[in-house]
Amino acid sequence: MRMRFFGDSYDVVKRFLRHTLAPEAKWVAFPMFTHEVTAVEISDFEAFLSMRVVSPKVLTSSSNREAHFSASARDRHIFIDPDTGIKLKPSKRADAAKYVFGPELVALCAKKHDRLLLVFDQSVPRGSERDALIEKLDYFRENGLSGFAYLSHACFLVLSRSSIACILARKRLLATHLPQTRLVSANNA
């Protein structure tokens, strides 16, 4: 995540989703910073999204990713904000810090049955966003997670081990009169 883009329309969507999916819940934010951020920037980010940032540490290609993500292990609902999005297969490439990996999300969901993950995902190809989101959702379904995606210029995945938590989150989104066509499910879901 890059703070120079803070406050853009993507952040407005993040705030809307956080307040709609589980409004009564205490959420935490896990922005995957790729550069140093100031305490003021963190405070502004927390105030805008109404959630505490659990790790202000910069993620690099040489970071211990397991230790990095353990900062949010105790929290129930987590918003994960990678710089670019979700890659299903882990990578050691120089750009690895821009992504959260599929197995990392599966592991985070495994720690709490009713945990919701809200994950920002810009790593879907233009023109075939729906297909890319379905592929990711199929992967997570095959790994024991329920979920759906919000399809827009700013795409997001909602994941949980609890199908009930996902169904309720989906119903809350649809209750806002968001068109159902904006929500994507896994194949055969």
**Residue 98: which of 143, 133, 65, 136 has the closest Cα?**
65
pLDDT band at 6; cut points 50, 70, 90 = low
Q: How many domains does the chain have?
A: 1
Residue 28 lies in a domain: yes
Single-letter amino acid, residue 25: A
CA 7 to chain centre: 17
Burial of 79 (0-12, 13-18, 19+ CB in 10 A): buried
pTM, rounded to two decimals: 0.89
Residue 34 lies in a domain: yes
Residue 94 lies in a domain: yes
Residue 189 lies in a domain: no
Q: pLDDT by residue (tens digit) across 25-40?
A: 888 888 887 888 888 8
DSSP codes, the chain:
--GGGTTSHHHHHHHHHHHHHSTTS-EEEEE--SS---HHHHHHHHHHHTSEES--PPP-TTS-HHHHHGGGTT-SEEEEE-SSEEESS---SGGGGGEEEHHHHHHHHHT-TT--EEEEE--S-TT-HHHHHHHHHHHHHHTT-EEEEE-SSSEEEEEES-HHHHHHHHHHHHHTT--GGGEE--TT-
Token pair of 152 as six digits: 């827009």
Q: pLDDT by residue (tens digit) across 159-170?
A: 999 999 999 999
Better pLDDT: 7 or 76:
76
Beta-bridged to residue 81, according to DSSP, are 31
What share of the chain has pLDDT > 70, as a percent?
A: 93
Boundaries of domain holding 51: 3-184
Residues 161/109, Cβ–Cβ less than 8 Å = yes
Tell me the C-alpha distance between 20 and 172, whole Å. 6
Residue 157 lies in a domain: yes
For residue 113, pLDDT over 60 is answered with: yes
Residue 53 lies in a domain: yes
For residue 155, pLDDT over 60 is answered with: yes
Most confident of 8-17, 23-32, 124-133, 135-144: 135-144
pLDDT band at 139; cut points 50, 70, 90 = very high
